[in-house]
Structure 1
Amino acid sequence: MFGIDAVIHSTYSGLQKGLHAISMMIIVWLMASGYYAALITHIPEVKGAVSTFNVALATLFAPVFLFRMYVSFGKGYADVLRSRDVMRYAAFLVHNLIYITTLIVIVSGFLMMNRDIDMFGLFYIPAVITDPRLHGWFSDSHTLACYGLALLLFMHVAAVIKHHLTGRPVLKGMFF
């Protein structure tokens, strides 16, 4: 196997595939509903409900994502760095940018909170920052990181579709 197929089939463990699936479902939900609440709906109750739910879900997801980064760290890096395949470098770069950008989205989202985080009505996590200027800065950072993550995920999905259409079903290596 050559190219990205070799990276996927040789380095993704069952645990990584499971973490990828969980991450994909949660990130797609958070992004789709978050963009809906921020850009489409004008109903304050919907915006508030989506925001409250998403903040709690993202807070629960944060340790899962950190564990995913830990599990994935270093997998296939040496092979990619030894390779002369430009597409492997590109895939490697985009995957790492997705990890970094997702981490920025999670951290900035947590730090931009100017109210306690309602964890599905079970308990509350106090806001970490009280300075309104910092809330604004983290909110702006969160928005930019969300746009960047949307672009990176679009590129990722486009690459998966391209590989599938050219006879390399990479989804098998990512989920099965």
Structure 2
Amino acid sequence: MTYTTSTDKFDRTARALHWISAAVILWAMLSGFYMALFEVDSTTKRTLSTFNVSLTFVYFPLFLWRLVHRITCTPPTQLEQLSLRHANLACTAHKFIYLLTSIVMCSGVLMMQRSFCVFGLFTVPPLLSTTSLQDVFARIHVISNVMLLLMVTVHILAVIKHQLGGRAILQRML
């Protein structure tokens, strides 16, 4: 299927924010799970952790921009080949991904027990001083990351399924 009108695609801002989000979220999740599931030397773990915290902290305003943009800008028309049920399911899944991303980022900052430096530019102190509360947010962070990984995987598989089924879903975001 070829697209010929501007309403067939998301606007440039939405597309740029989507792909920046995809890169940051995939990197942070995959490297985070790598450190959690495999034996990683302390230098590599410290380097990856420091980079991930800085990256996701800097990404947070872009994520907020993405949310505001999604709420305030009209998305492209829904593909005719999608049933109402599938269209509603996709909409709900996207909202859940936004929610989980918000939870992951907020819990990530709230679980911090020490100050962290953002790309060597400035230091952010821990926002909470109660260790038990930080531990709760650490658990929330792990659970929400697992759920986000599952939702992102479903999202990617749905795009592949629709592409292979002749529905050019991906082109709306390219």
TM-score, normalised relative to structure 2: 0.88
User: Number of paired residues?
Assistant: 167
Same amino acid, percent of matched pairs: 35
Is 2:82 aligned against 1:94?
no
Is 2:40 aligned against 1:42?
yes
- Uncovered stretches (5+) of structure 2, i.e. residues with no partner: none
- Uncovered stretches (5+) of structure 1, i.e. residues with no partner: none
Match of 2:151 in 1: 152
Deviations 1:99-131 (A, max 9, x none): 000000000001101111211122211111111
Match of 2:124 in 1: 125
Match of 2:59 in 1: 61
TM-score, normalised relative to structure 1: 0.87
Match of 2:109 in 1: 110
Distance 1:166 1:84, change over 3 A: closer
2:30 is matched with which residue: 32, 35, 56?
32
Is the contact made by 2:28 and 2:52 (CA closer than 8 Å) also made in structure 1?
yes
Structure ranking higher in helix proportion: 1
1:18 is matched with which residue: 16, 19, 42?
16
SS in 2 for 1:124: strand
Structure 2: which amino acid aligns with 1:43? D
Is the contact made by 1:164 and 1:170 (CA closer than 8 Å) also made in structure 2?
yes
Structure 2: which amino acid aligns with 1:160? V
Structure 2: which amino acid aligns with 1:147? V
